[in-house]
């Protein structure tokens, strides 16, 4: 439940020269709601400037994670066209040579070899420009190369105006003869997003060099009519280390929409600033070469008719180019290329927006592809194959990647006019609220095999409202902090958000002044909807999915979000915003209460505890601070953009800084650090090596720790830790197994279908762990608890009936493990065996840094069981 503050000023306290200063931010004032600026793309304020001032960026920096913060939140420094043309040459700093770079063994370009090549390529003629698109989690520069015919500053400005008109005035742009005649089509080629899928980088470097030197008419015409953007290596951390993930352990090609990692934010900014019409993403290894478009289900928020028309035609051209290289299965081990839409039934879908080619269409791209070259050189093959064989395979993959790139450029150049017209049409449908066009052999001529299984559309709401607090008799806001984060995230993705200057009534509900409105008559409505909508239960549509199938920032990020169906917005007086208004607040008198409903609030609490501030827990799980802590609370309110309200509650047990020994996934480790916990990663091997349990107050287990594989000494040390007051928080099968093996909480864990995932309805008991928690959660291989012993408390249950709101969750072949079995069952439990406090989760509350609204459940659990 939100805290009502409709009429009083927001007070941020700051210490200046030893004095306590109160700054009043009056709701609706220019300070609280910055003066709006035009929404633009290249050269817009959507990059580093906003990153520097948003609460999200401030909190990220404050958490001290230098690896994730180095690049800046969403800021890449791209754009900046004012007064600049092409080329934009700059001399790149040269990284130190690294003989351990895993690319070297394959005969490919190591990361430290890329900058020298790009410096040399910029000196060849006047076609190649390099920009720094950001930094990786490990601190390595990301190189964005632009290849195009030279442009004066005036011509570049003209290109920018045309690009902006396409999205801002698509109806007019469709009639604009200048756009048809002279707009340069943007093509984006993304490489090496999985670090140990190397060869796209080398193919890109070869193609850039060829285009820099080419004097033939075809090449000159190509560069005169198109801008080619190459993200040379999206994941330099993984390229160097030979890992799929980046330095934070994240699979970057699962991070779009959430954008937790700097590399994903850099690609997001490329999408916003450059507005690609066509893109390909180079991967490995599937034999024969896999070339999207995909099998069903297809993302319901796309303008899929326009997408399929171009993607299938481009796929045919890439297939011909790849097969035309002459590699064969008998001689080279290379099978013919595969187009999943044509050649497969299911299992390679474009449903989730988490992959690069599935994210880019929401920014207007009408042909996007994952390309999987065929010859495996990573993982076990990297270790077991002779160097000569690895290099042979890598050469084949580089050739195939190059063929796919060249075919894509050929397709784009030949169909430049229609590709741009289709991109404008994507924006026009969004801006005017036009209906989607279902795919069929009539609406997408030339694409064979279209059937009812390919038809996925949605009904867009008229608007979304993210309420402010204070609507009398109306809809309030669960968490102003969560709402601010969500608004900033939408804006970072180029979704247009407005803020109401007066109270209004919409969809039968009353909303307070200051509520945010997302008008769904906007060019990127698909992106707004894919983020905010509930999604769809597609369990009956296909038998298997490639990855997750349910997500919803509207349900999982902790903010109250309403979909408004039908009607108009005439009674809503609102103006565009470039960032959410700050919500940081400290009550001027009395003791203080900090609600723990958002990860930023957990982070703020942990910061205060680290400073030695006295904090007590209230019955609802919130934190109570004495009035003497007002100065420290003021600093935390400013740093984390959280609110401290006045309270008469005195609180109960004291809270203490909690040190966490964590056997968890990389995503969970990242989330724990985001919440400012003092975390020490552990595993079976770490414990067997003699872990010092004096470093920990609580053990959090979800992966990588098996008590049965511990040595006798390590098992004894673990058991002593647990019996001496160390708490346990467990998640999933691994956490439940440790609880059972150690003989702690008397419950039986039941595993659901291991392939299931999605957004689920839950019922919270309230109190220490789930007080104030959202009524939706996320599951991935869900589980639940039965046979509850004495003293076991059910903190959260799955909803009755079918708890699945969106995603894919079927029963197993024997009929068990489906959502019907989980309905009404305990999803989160807590209790004690007399010596050890335990909390067990059957949900997935920290999944890939995504379900932000669930993070506090884990934070509260860790604080409640810590000794």
Q: Catalytic residues, which ones?
A: 425
CA–CA distance from 671 to each of 497, 665, 700 (Å)? 27, 10, 13
Where b means 16+ CB within 10 Å and e means fewer, 165-193 reads: bbbbbbeebbeeeebbeebbbbbbbbbbb
Backbone angles phi, psi at 790, to 5 degrees: -60, 140
Taking alpha carbons only, the member of 791, 761, 773 closest to residue 852 is 773
Backbone angles phi, psi at 377, to 5 degrees: -130, 5
Sheet holding 591-594, edge to edge: 585-586, 643-647, 591-594, 623-625, 616-617
Cβ(432)–Cβ(438) under 8 Å? no
Taking alpha carbons only, the member of 180, 369, 181, 364 closest to residue 286 is 369
Strand partners, 779: 758
Which residue is listed with tokens 């999944």? 847
CA–CA distance from 788 to each of 320, 743, 791 (Å)? 61, 14, 8
CA–CA distance from 178 to each of 173, 222, 348, 818 (Å)? 9, 18, 40, 57
Q: Give Cβ neighbours of residue 663 (< 8 Å, ≥ 6 apart).
A: 681, 682, 683, 684, 699, 700, 701, 702, 703, 704, 705, 734
Torsion of CA 58, 62, 68, 74, to 10 degrees: 0
Which residue is listed with tokens 């930023």? 600
| Rounded Cα gap, residues 391 and 103, in angstroms | 10
- Beta strands (DSSP E) in 738-825 are 748-751, 757-764, 776-780, 783-786, 793-798, 804-808
Number of residues in the chain: 867
DSSP for residue 379: H
CA–CA distance from 208 to each of 9, 229, 270, 393, 451 (Å)? 56, 10, 18, 22, 40
CA–CA distance from 570 to each of 491, 562, 565 (Å)? 23, 18, 14
Cβ(147)–Cβ(230) under 8 Å? yes
What SS3 state is found at 488? helix
What SS3 state is found at 151? strand
The two beta strands, 295-298 and 349-350, are: parallel
Cβ(39)–Cβ(61) under 8 Å? no
Cβ(663)–Cβ(706) under 8 Å? no
Q: How many CB atoms lie within 10 A of CB 499?
A: 22
Backbone angles phi, psi at 220, to 5 degrees: -60, -40
Sheet holding 185-191, edge to edge: 128-135, 141-147, 226-231, 185-191, 278-284, 367-373, 290-291
Cβ(857)–Cβ(770) under 8 Å? yes
Q: Give Cβ neighbours of residue 745 (< 8 Å, ≥ 6 apart).
A: 739, 789, 792, 829, 830, 831, 832, 833, 838, 840
What does the radius of gyration of the chain's CA atoms come to, in whole angstroms? 27
| Rounded Cα gap, residues 328 and 28, in angstroms | 67
């Amino acid at each position: 439940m939100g805290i009502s503050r409709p009429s009083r000023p927001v007070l941020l306290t700051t210490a200046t020269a030893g004095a306590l200063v109160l700054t009043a931010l009056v709701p609706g004032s220019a300070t609280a709601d910055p003066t709006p600026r035009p929404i633009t793309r290249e050269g817009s304020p959507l990059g580093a400037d906003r990153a520097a001032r948003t609460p999200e960026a401030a909190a990220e920096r404050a958490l001290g994670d230098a690896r994730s913060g180095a690049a800046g939140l969403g800021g890449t420094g791209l754009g900046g066209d004012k007064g600049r043309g092409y080329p934009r040459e700059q001399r790149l700093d040269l990284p130190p040579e690294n003989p351990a770079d895993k690319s070297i063994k394959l005969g490919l370009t190591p990361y430290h070899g890329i900058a020298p090549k790009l410096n040399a390529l910029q000196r060849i003629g006047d076609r190649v420009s390099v920009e720094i698109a950001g930094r990786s989690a490990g601190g390595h520069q990301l190189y964005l190369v632009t290849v195009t015919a030279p442009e004066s500053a005036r011509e570049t400005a003209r290109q920018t105006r045309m690009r902006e008109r396409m999205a801002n005035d698509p109806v007019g742009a469709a009639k604009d003869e200048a756009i048809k005649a002279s707009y340069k089509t943007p093509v984006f080629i993304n490489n090496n997003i999985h670090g140990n899928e190397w060869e796209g980088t080398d193919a890109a470097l070869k193609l850039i060099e060829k285009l820099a030197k080419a004097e033939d008419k075809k090449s000159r015409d190509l560069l005169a009519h198109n801008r080619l953007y190459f993200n040379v290596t999206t994941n330099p951390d993984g390229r160097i280390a030979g890992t799929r993930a980046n330095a934070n352990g994240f699979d970057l090609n699962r991070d779009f929409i959430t954008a937790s990692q700097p590399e994903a934010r850099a690609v997001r900014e490329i999408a916003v600033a450059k507005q690609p019409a066509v893109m390909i993403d180079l991967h490995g290894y599937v034999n024969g070469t896999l070339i999207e478009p995909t099998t069903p289900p297809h993302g319901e928020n796309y303008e899929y008719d326009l997408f399929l028309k171009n993607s299938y035609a481009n796929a045919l051209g890439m297939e011909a180019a790849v097969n035309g290289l002459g590699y064969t299965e008998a001689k080279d081990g290379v099978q013919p290329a595969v187009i999943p839409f044509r050649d497969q039934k299911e299992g390679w879908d474009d449903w989730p927006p988490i992959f690069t080619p599935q994210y880019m269409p929401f920014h207007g791209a009408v042909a996007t592809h994952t390309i999987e070259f065929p010859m495996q050189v990573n993982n076990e093959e990297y270790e077991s194959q002779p160097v000569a064989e690895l290099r042979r395979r890598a050469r084949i993959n580089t050739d195939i990647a190059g063929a796919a790139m060249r075919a894509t450029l050929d397709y784009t150049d030949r169909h430049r006019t229609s590709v741009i017209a289709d991109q404008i049409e994507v924006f026009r449908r969004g801006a005017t609220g036009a209906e989607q066009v279902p795919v069929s052999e009539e609406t997408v001529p030339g694409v064979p095999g279209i059937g009812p299984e390919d038809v996925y559309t949605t009904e867009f709401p008229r608007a979304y409202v993210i309420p402010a607090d204070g609507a009398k008799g109306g809809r309030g806001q669960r968490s102003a902090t969560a709402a601010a984060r969500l608004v900033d995230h939408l804006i970072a993705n180029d979704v247009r958000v407005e803020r109401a200057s007066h109270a209004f009534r919409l969809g039968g509900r009353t909303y307070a002044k200051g509520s945010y409105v997302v008008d769904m008559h906007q060019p990127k409505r698909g992106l707004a909807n894919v983020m905010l909508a509930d999604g769809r239960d597609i369990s009956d549509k296909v038998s298997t999915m490639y990855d997750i199938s349910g997500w919803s920032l509207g349900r999982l990020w902790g903010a109250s979000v309403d979909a408004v169906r039908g009607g108009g917005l005439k009674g809503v007086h609102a103006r565009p915003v470039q960032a959410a208004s700050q919500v940081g607040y400290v009550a001027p008198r009395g003791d203080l209460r900090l609600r723990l409903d958002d990860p930023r609030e957990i982070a703020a609490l942990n910061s205060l505890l680290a400073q030695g501030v006295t904090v007590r827990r209230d019955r609802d799980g919130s934190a109570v601070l004495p009035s003497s802590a007002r100065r420290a609370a003021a600093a935390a309110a400013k740093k984390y953009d959280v609110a401290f309200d006045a309270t008469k509650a005195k609180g109960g047990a004291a809270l203490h800084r909690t040190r966490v020994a964590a056997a968890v996934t990389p995503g969970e480790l990242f989330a724990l650090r985001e919440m400012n916990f003092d975390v020490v990663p552990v595993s079976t091997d770490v414990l067997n090596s003699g872990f010092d349990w004096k470093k920990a107050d609580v053990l959090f287990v979800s992966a990588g720790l098996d008590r049965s594989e511990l040595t006798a000494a390590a098992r004894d040390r673990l058991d002593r830790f647990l019996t001496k007051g160390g708490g346990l928080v467990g998640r999933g099968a691994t956490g439940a197994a440790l609880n059972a093996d150690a003989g702690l909480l008397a419950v039986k864990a039941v595993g659901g279908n291991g392939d299931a995932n999605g957004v689920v309805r839950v019922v919270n008991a309230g109190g220490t762990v789930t007080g104030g928690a959202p009524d939706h959660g996320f599951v991935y291989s869900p589980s639940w608890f039965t046979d509850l012993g004495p003293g076991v408390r059910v903190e959260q249950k799955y909803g009755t009936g079918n708890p699945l709101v969106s995603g894919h969750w079927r029963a197993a072949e024997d009929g068990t493990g489906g959502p019907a079995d989980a309905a009404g069952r305990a999803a989160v439990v807590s209790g004690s065996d007399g010596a050890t406090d335990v909390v067990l989760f059957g949900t997935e509350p920290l999944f890939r840094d995504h379900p932000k609204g669930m993070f506090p459940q884990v934070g509260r659990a860790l604080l409640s069981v810590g000794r």
